[in-house]
Amino acid sequence: MNEFELIYSYFRDISPKRSDVLLGIGDDAALLRVEPNHTLVVSTDSMVSGVHFLSQWPPADIAWRAVMTAVSDLAAMGATPCWMTLALTLPEVDCEWLADFSRGISTAISATEMALIGGDTTKGPLNIGVTVFGQVPFQQEIKRSGARSGDIIFVSGYLGAAALALKNLKNNAIPEPDNTKIFSHLLHPYPRLDWIPLLRRYASAVIDISDGLSADLNHLCVSSQVGARLEQEAIPLHPLLKKYAVAEAVDIALFGGDDYELCFTVPATQVQDFLAAVSLANLHCFQVGTIIDGAGIQIIDEQKNSKTLEPRGYQHFN
């Protein structure tokens, strides 16, 4: 099977149809119709075998995860996903692997209503490059840089299950069925697209939690030129984290990544309206702290002692 047969067999016809795709896979480039009065939002992620995933993981899960972690960045900007390109580097043509991988891509783009509009296919060490394109109405874009002193900090869901799964890959200490349950948090993240409408209306700044709450909240604070005060007791620890990693639960939630929940800030004057809208939308979030003047993150423990939190999380080249 050559490069073109591969593209046509596994990627040409797996995409939801969208009327804004004037030309998709098959030409030198795709042609897209952008909505009037909207901003185009673009984000790229690389998934490297052995770094971001293990080659022995189910191909459909590798594919889902590559798509969804990229989509999470669109959610964090308040953008609705629309289109995707796929830059795939494969060591060999393994038809069984490709069929399963293609099924995973198809499931993920269908779930997020994105059209696969092109890509590139090359031979080399396994690597999955995903570029996602989304749209947001003019001036409803949400950046990391909009947080102000006094804003309240929220997290969209429980933290730590994916990092616990990663840890358990090494020490294999969690029995079934919880092991499978925890592993699914790592393999099958759900980007929080359900939050987009509310964030557009109320959030002053948003970031998705890919590297861990401490590292990602720190990025938000640096961009906004503010500091943060976190209440340790308020950090939403995943129930399985509380069950299996009692002593380290807070550390795993703070410093472990891969949850793809959102961390966002809402001006204090808007919080009441925001929380009413949250319950109307049947969503749930956790209030974890406050934006303050200055720099860095202070964490208040159960004894009301304050200490400075190290913004450590996963970093390449470290």
Q: From the CB of 266, what's the least distance to ligand ADP, in Å?
A: 39
Out of 11, 64, 202, 260, name the contact with ligand ADP by CB under 6 A. 11
301 binds Mg ion (CB under 5 A): no
Q: Give the integer Cα–Cα distance in Å for 281 and 233.
A: 26
Q: Give the integer Cα–Cα distance in Å for 196 and 203.
A: 10
Q: From the CB of 88, what's the least distance to ligand ADP, in Å?
A: 4
Residue 216 corresponds to which amino acid? D
Q: From the CB of 52, what's the least distance to Mg ion, in Å?
A: 23
Instruction: Name which of 274, 266, 291, 294 is nearest 150 in CA terms.
Output: 291
273 binds Mg ion (CB under 5 A): no
Q: For residues 166 and 186, is the Cβ–Cβ distance under 8 A? A: yes
3 binds Mg ion (CB under 5 A): no
Instruction: Name which of 3, 9, 205 is nearest 123 in CA terms.
Output: 3
HEC string of 114-170 equals CEEEEEEEEECCCEEEEEEEEEEECCCCCCHHHCCCCCEEEECCCECHHHHHHHHHH
Q: For residues 206 and 199, is the Cβ–Cβ distance under 8 A? A: yes
Helix 59-75 with 95-111: angle, nearest 10 deg = 30
Strand partners, 3: none
Q: For residues 6 and 95, is the Cβ–Cβ distance under 8 A? A: no
Give SS3 for 82.
Answer: strand
Q: Which two tokens stand for residue 92?
A: 């060999």
Nearer to ligand ADP, 27 or 302 (CB): 27
Q: From the CB of 42, what's the least distance to Mg ion, in Å?
A: 18
User: Which DSSP category does 293 fall into?
Assistant: S
Out of 104, 119, 160, 289, name the contact with ligand ADP by CB under 6 A. 119
166 binds ligand ADP (CB under 6 A): no
| Residue 160's binding partner out of ligand ADP, Mg ion, none, with CB under 5 to 8 Å set by partner kind | none
Q: From the CB of 81, what's the least distance to Mg ion, in Å?
A: 23
Nearer to ligand ADP, 88 or 198 (CB): 88
Nearer to ligand ADP, 41 or 116 (CB): 116
Residues in contact with ligand ADP, total (CB under 6 A)? 13
Residue 260 corresponds to which amino acid? Y
Choices 45-53, 119-127, 196-204, 267-275 (CB under 5 A): range interacting with Mg ion: 119-127
Out of 118, 134, 146, 212, name the contact with ligand ADP by CB under 6 A. 118
Out of 5, 13, 113, 120, name the contact with Mg ion by CB under 5 A. 120
**Distance of alpha carbon 211 from the chain centroid:** 10
Q: Which two tokens stand for residue 90?
A: 């494969």
Choices 19-27, 93-101, 234-242, 302-310 (CB under 6 A): range interacting with ligand ADP: 19-27
Residues in region 82-111 near ligand ADP by CB under 6 A = 86, 88
Question: Which residues lie near Mg ion (CB under 5 A)?
Answer: 120
Question: Which residues lie near ligand ADP (CB under 6 A)?
Answer: 7, 11, 25-28, 86, 88, 116, 118-121
